[in-house]
Amino acid sequence: MVSLPPSLQKQVSVMSMNLSAKLDELQRGDRQLETTVALCEIRTQLQELTKSVESCQSEVSEVKRDMVAIKHELDTVQQVKEEIEELREYVDRLEEHSHRRKLRLLEQGLTLFLSYAILAAVLGMLQFGYNTGVINAPEVNIENFMKDVYKDRYGEDISDDYVKRLYSVAVSIFAIGGMLGGFSGGIIANRFGRKGGLLLNNVLGIVGGCLMGFTKMAHSYEMLFFGRFIIGVNCGLNTSLVPMYISEIAPLNLRGGLGTVNQLAVTVGLLVSQVLGIEQILGTDEGWPVLLLLAICPAILQLLLLPVCPESPRYLLITKQWEEEARKALRRLRASNQVEEDIEEMRAEERAQQAESRISMTELICSPTLRAPLIIGVVMQLSQQLSGINAVFYYSTNLYTSSGLTEESAKFATIGIGSIMVVMTLVSIPLMDRTGRRTLHLYGLGGMFIFSIFITISFLIKEFFGYVQEMIDWMSYLSVVSTLFFVVFFAVGPGSIPWMITAELFSQGPRPAAMSIAVLVNWIANFVVGIGFPSMKTSLENYTFLPFSAFLAIFWIFTYKQVPETKNKTFEEILALFRHGNDRSSLRDSRLYGCVCSWIRAIFRRTRSTGEITAPASPATLSEQRCLTMGNSSS
């Protein structure tokens, strides 16, 4: 029995009392009331009582309906709870599956064909290293050629200052071409592919090498400038395309070491140019055009070797949607038919960045999610160029002669720099995937900062004690040793890591645009250092390296505070770091949070629209859409 509401009970009691009073009055006859009037009043009271009872019944019905609705809501909440538990179990299984997949990816090794593909690709970076250093050793020979051309044209001698300016143009116009090539890298990579872009780029390498090689025959230093510009475009494209290609074909556990091969090729190119540039080989008035012409060799060699290599599987699968071609490429690169783990990892990356697919540079710069990795990539490139290393590469011979060494000794000291670079880059290859990118970069910047101070100290002591011959000799060697260690620490970190980490920080969609921007910044800084260092050396004299010391300190602090570790992380996991504010919480928690939020929102959105709960047919479907995008829809 459902009890009456208190208000109704009170009303019935009052009416009952009134009726009793009326009946008593009729029985006593105390007051001569007409029986008819009394009965009318009783009838009225009974009608009111009937209405109250009917109202009470209506309220009881509403209470019953509310109770049924509450029970339905409780059933709904219980159902949601069960579905959340089901989703949690699925996420756990998915996480376990992803973990096993990552372990299998980490077990992949270096195959013969992968080694061949890496070798063919890094010839582009060897080209970059060769042309960066080739202009250094024959500086005097090139300046003499410019003097002869000017005198034959105008019948008068050219001033030494003007010759220096012309030579600095020959040095720095290479960087201008590099800016153009680097900026175009993303467009070329998306239009022709990574491998296709590298093959087309070799045409520029051959044209630029021929222009430089036939400069003396044409008796025109403008031809040298144009050749350096064309070869700069070629090298700019290489610095964008080669790291991109290698990072996309390398297994997860070897990505760091193989990425360092980029820098190894650069250092080998530098060393080869320095060795060939000595007077005993091609560093003569007759030999320097041949030295510059040899830049066509890496381009020709790559044209012969690269066609055998496959296109980047990520480009084939994610950009072109050619899954079968991507599988064929992976089977060749991994020397195995078991490539499902790689395909799954690429698919996960594709789902994680579908909203960013084929992103333009403007969209990249404006994207809040991608702004942090873009800033890191740009600053990492600046840390390479504004460290002062190109001042050493371009003008090391001049630096050593001003420190007191003979010109011949200065050239051999420059070769020593190149040799140390090669050795230390080889040492850093196994360290890259063992120690981590961030740690090595911090070591490299810190060591360069210390020895840039020592270089400045050696210049100052030479000035103060220049009258003592023994002190001059001692300080000359101190300058050489400090420069060598400066280069050692550059090879450990800033030499290779900026190229690699820029490619690692971005998924397939924004990667070409990000590489274009980062490489453009690198070449702009390269140009500024190349053309500005002679003037800075003249103005600051013995304090020339202090601005570089200040930059190194700033870059060290930035790396320590802002740069995440990318060692053994998939592109999907690296993207997740920046989606969640670069925090260090576990990836599982962030996935689970995003999945549960999306799941609950979807359930209650359907509840509001239909008035009843409808569970999805399969939690796997929603999980694939939500979980593998790491909560993107919940942000």
pLDDT at 69 over 70: yes
Average pLDDT (594-622) is: 42
Residues 413-442 have pLDDT tens digits of 778 877 888 888 888 878 876 788 888 899
pLDDT at res. 593 = 40
Q: Tokens at residue 165, please? A: 């300016």
pLDDT at res. 450 = 94
Using CA atoms, how far residue 261 sits from 266, 273, 426, 430, 510, in Å, is: 9, 18, 8, 11, 24
Task: Tell me the pLDDT band of 26, cut-offs 50, 70 and 90.
Answer: low
pLDDT at res. 355 = 54
If one compares 527 and 233, the residue with the highest pLDDT of the two is: 233
Compute how many other C-beta atoms are within 10 angstroms of the C-beta atom of residue 344.
Answer: 16
pLDDT at res. 627 = 37
Non-local (6+) Cβ contacts of 426 within 8 A are 264
Q: What are phi and psi of 509, to 5 degrees?
A: -65, -60
With beta carbons less than 8 A apart as the criterion, state whether 506 and 361 touch: no
Cα angle for residues 460, 462, 466 (degrees, 5° grid): 130
Task: Tell me the pLDDT band of 252, cut-offs 50, 70 and 90.
Answer: confident
pLDDT at res. 635 = 36
Cα angle for residues 83, 85, 90 (degrees, 5° grid): 95
Distance CA 371, CA 88 (A): 32
pLDDT at res. 100 = 62
Q: The pTM is what? A: 0.68
Distance CA 617, CA 615 (A): 6
Question: To the nearest whole number, what is the mean pLDDT of the chain?
Answer: 79
Q: Is the dihedral of CA 389, 418, 242, 105 positive or negative?
A: negative
pLDDT at res. 27 = 61
Average pLDDT (510-516) is: 82
Average pLDDT (124-143) is: 89
pLDDT at 80 over 80: yes
Tell me the three-class secondary structure of 225-240, residue by residue: HHHHHHHHHHHHHHHH
Task: Tell me the pLDDT band of 329, cut-offs 50, 70 and 90.
Answer: very high
pLDDT at res. 608 = 44
Distance CA 473, CA 478 (A): 9
pLDDT at 602 over 70: no
pLDDT at res. 629 = 37
Q: Per this entry, what is the length of the chain?
A: 635
Residue in 394, 586, 387 with CA at minimum distance from that of residue 492: 387
pLDDT at res. 612 = 41
* Packing angle, helices 469-492 and 389-402, rounded to 10: 170
- Range scoring the smallest mean pLDDT among 109-123, 127-141, 199-213, 399-413: 399-413
Average pLDDT (284-306) is: 95
pLDDT at 624 over 60: no
pLDDT at 215 over 80: yes
pLDDT at res. 583 = 42
Average pLDDT (227-237) is: 95
pLDDT at res. 270 = 86
For residue 229, the one-letter residue type is F
For residue 68, the one-letter residue type is V
Which residue's structure tokens are 């011949």? 408
Average pLDDT (506-534) is: 81
pLDDT at res. 463 = 67
pLDDT at 552 over 80: yes
Average pLDDT (302-316) is: 93
Task: Tell me the pLDDT band of 590, cut-offs 50, 70 and 90.
Answer: very low
With beta carbons less than 8 A apart as the criterion, state whether 349 and 507 touch: yes
pLDDT at 530 over 60: yes
Question: Which residue blocks in 112-193 are alpha helix, DSSP H?
Answer: 112-133, 139-154, 160-192
Distance CA 39, CA 505 (A): 95
pLDDT at res. 18 = 73
Distance CA 402, CA 346 (A): 54
pLDDT at res. 328 = 92
With beta carbons less than 8 A apart as the criterion, state whether 361 and 517 touch: yes
Non-local (6+) Cβ contacts of 212 within 8 A are 223, 224, 227, 228, 231, 289, 292, 293, 295
Task: Tell me the pLDDT band of 287, cut-offs 50, 70 and 90.
Answer: very high
With beta carbons less than 8 A apart as the criterion, state whether 249 and 306 touch: no
* Packing angle, helices 296-305 and 194-213, rounded to 10: 150
By percentage, how much of the chain surpasses pLDDT 90? 26
Task: Tell me the pLDDT band of 24, cut-offs 50, 70 and 90.
Answer: low
Average pLDDT (603-621) is: 41
Name, of 258-262, 318-322, 593-597, the range with top average pLDDT. Answer: 318-322
With beta carbons less than 8 A apart as the criterion, state whether 613 and 81 touch: no
- Range scoring the smallest mean pLDDT among 302-306, 402-406, 426-430, 602-606: 602-606
Q: What is the per-residue burial (b if ≥16 Cβ within 10 Å, else e) of 386-399?
A: bbbbbbbbbbbbbb
For residue 75, the one-letter residue type is D
HSE on the CB side for 512, CA within 13 Å? 27
* Packing angle, helices 587-610 and 571-579, rounded to 10: 70
DSSP H or E segment with residue 605: helix 587-610
By percentage, how much of the chain surpasses pLDDT 70? 77
pLDDT at 603 over 90: no
pLDDT at res. 504 = 80
Average pLDDT (260-269) is: 87
pLDDT at 308 over 90: yes
Q: Tokens at residue 357, please? A: 């697919």
| Burial of residue 109 (number of CB atoms within 10 Å: 0-12, 13-18, 19+) | exposed
